[in-house]
Amino acid sequence: MDVLIIGGGATGASAAWQLSERDDVDVTLCEQGGNVGHGSTPRAAGGIRSMYSTPVHVELSKLAIETWQTFEEDYGVEVDYKNTGYLFGVTNRTQYEQLRQDVWVQNNHGVPTELLDPEAASEHLDGLDTDRYMAVAWNPMDGFADPHAALMAYTRLARENGAQILTDHEVTDLRQDPTGRVRGVEVNGGEKELDADYVVNAAGPWGHRVAAMADVEIPITPKKRHGAMVEPERQVPTDAPLHIDLDSGVYYRPWDEEQALLGGHFQPDDPTVDPDDPNSYEDTTDMDWAAAAMEAAAETADYFGMDTRIVRGWSGVYAITPSNHPIIEESVPGFVNDVGHSGRAFMQSPATGRIVTEIVTEGEAKSVDTTALRTDDGKDTRGMLPIPYTADMYD
């Protein structure tokens, strides 16, 4: 079986690695940029969590975490995985009730999240402003890893299994036979044609463009998200959990002994990226965002203050769907979509790569019930699946 994957980010590279583990599958990955990681994977914050409000996201993350926990031992590749936990803090009754419901969902799916009073939560994060929070959710199974290192690990393992990784190969059309089955791709405007038994669309924020080549309608909106490296006033302990404030949306985690990674979004909506304008994908930082992030972080813990210094900043692109859930399915014969991860592509990539492998080689997903990740006859009619908070604070 010949499988061609479109997109060299974490989603596509994980699928390439796991498909190439099958003896009867030959894998080719096409990346439009000059190198894998040309998109947003290297700009991700690296968080890996199972604290979600819908069962399918909890199950995807659980499956992914099983791989993350033993990845370095199993494959001998360093990805800087740290199992330091996550803390979610809420400041009012509305947030508390939603968080309590989410913890119940997580517990019912085998995730050991617990609600703590702020004083108890400060045992996990000593700088926490305990007067700010009504309650804090703590999950010890979550953590973070290095997205770029993981991407390099996926591609190395795929190559060792015989996969071809082709850069500067932009897929500009899909090739279909008279029955409508996808049989391959056209590259660089007809410069080359590649045959395949299956084509996997893992093109991230360009995923809706690729899907349209097979007359599949996927409403993906590319949105900018920012991040920054800062030197806090007081060191964030290197074993500290990733802390998210669900009121402001700010989050931070330790980076090394001197620096912390800061992120979050503070507007009702993030800037939309224009797929036709390459400049809109540039990884520049908005200084108004950086100022808002610093101010919000200072309200959550005593690590941040007037003397906190921004070292550098960047931005990446989320591929947002209306439901904030990905689409993973064989949308038309021979064409598998793995797109619209809405900021979760890196953390859940071990799970989504396995699901794509199951769909291609076994005809259906076996590891996770993907009902909520499928469209209706090639159209995303799922509507708004229940997600917490109108501002999407879980991202």
- Whether residues 328 and 368 share a domain: the answer is yes
Mean pLDDT, the chain, as a whole number? 91
Tell whether 274 and 234 lie within a shared domain: yes
Number of domains in the chain: 2
Q: How far is CA 332 from CA 16, 199, 215, in A?
A: 20, 10, 9
Q: Is residue 7 part of a domain?
A: yes
Q: Is residue 6 part of a domain?
A: yes
Query: For helices 55-75 and 93-108, what crossing angle results, to 10°?
Result: 60
- In 3D, which of 50, 71, 62 has the Cα closest to residue 145? 71
Instruction: Copy the structure tokens of residue 142.
Output: 């979550």
The enclosing domain of 93 has a CATH number of 3.30.9.10
pLDDT of 214 reads 95
Burial of 283 (0-12, 13-18, 19+ CB in 10 A): middle
DSSP 188-201: GGGTEEEE-SEEEE
Are residues 10 and 27 both part of a single domain? yes
Q: Note the pLDDT tens digit of each residue in 35-71.
A: 998 889 999 999 999 999 889 999 999 999 999 999 9
Supply the pTM of this predicted model: 0.93
pLDDT at 345 over 80: yes
What is the pLDDT confidence band of residue 391, given thresholds at 50, 70 and 90?
Answer: very low
Structure token pair of residue 295: 């101010």
Same domain flag for 295 and 188? no
Q: Tens of pLDDT along 273-307?
A: 876 676 777 788 888 899 999 999 999 999 999 89
Taking residues 18-36, report their average pLDDT. 96
Higher pLDDT, 154 or 378: 154
154 and 171 co-located in one domain: yes
Instruction: Give the residue carrying structure tokens 């089955």.
Output: 181
SS3 category, 186: strand
188 with 312, same domain?
no
pLDDT in tens, 316-339: 999 988 888 899 999 999 999 999
Q: Residue 382 has what pLDDT? A: 53
Say how many residues make up the chain.
Answer: 395
In a shared domain, residues 315 and 327 = no
pLDDT tops 70 at residue 108: yes
Measured distance CA(239)–CA(366) in Å, rounded? 35
pLDDT greater at residue 272 or residue 22: 22
Using an 8 Å Cβ cutoff, are 250 and 293 in contact?
yes
In a domain, 171, yes or no: yes
267 and 129 in a common domain: yes
| 250: containing domain | 83-142+221-320
Task: Provide the pLDDT confidence category of residue 313 given band limits of 50, 70 and 90.
Answer: very high
We report the CATH number of the domain holding residue 156 as 3.50.50.60
Q: Which of the four pLDDT bands, split at 50, 70 and 90, describes residue 311?
A: very high
Q: What is the pLDDT of residues 185-211, one digit of tens each?
A: 999 999 999 999 999 999 999 999 999
